[in-house]
Amino acid sequence: MKEGSLYIFPVNYLVHDGGIYFRTSEEGDLGRAPLGSSALQVDDVQAEAMAGWTVLAQGRPEQVDDEDLLKTLWGRSTEEP
């Protein structure tokens, strides 16, 4: 949040070795947003069973520069979604 504004972005993500990862471009809206503290919410609804769940994770995002980790995560080294 900055100056009372809350930024909400849809992202594709994956979980690897206890970390949550998502890709973005430094020039995109998410890449330029002030992300001092962030939250990720994932929901699932099974309407026919009248059931569902929500997971909420909160933390500080960090840029990944490790080429080997980027290749492990995305199959190739790229910052573009």
Question: In this predicted structure, which of 12-21, 60-69, 71-80 has the lowest mean pLDDT?
Answer: 71-80
Residue 55 is predicted with a pLDDT of 92
Per residue in 22-62, pLDDT tens? Answer: 888 878 878 777 777 788 899 999 999 999 999 999 988 88
Domain ranges of the chain: 13-74
Cβ of 30: how many Cβ atoms within 10 Å? 18
Q: What angle do CA 53, 18, 41 make, to 5 degrees?
A: 30
Amino acid letter, 40: L
Amino acid letter, 63: Q
Residue 2 is predicted with a pLDDT of 57
Q: Cα(40)–Cα(8) distance, rounded to whole angstroms?
A: 10
Q: Cα(45)–Cα(53) distance, rounded to whole angstroms?
A: 7
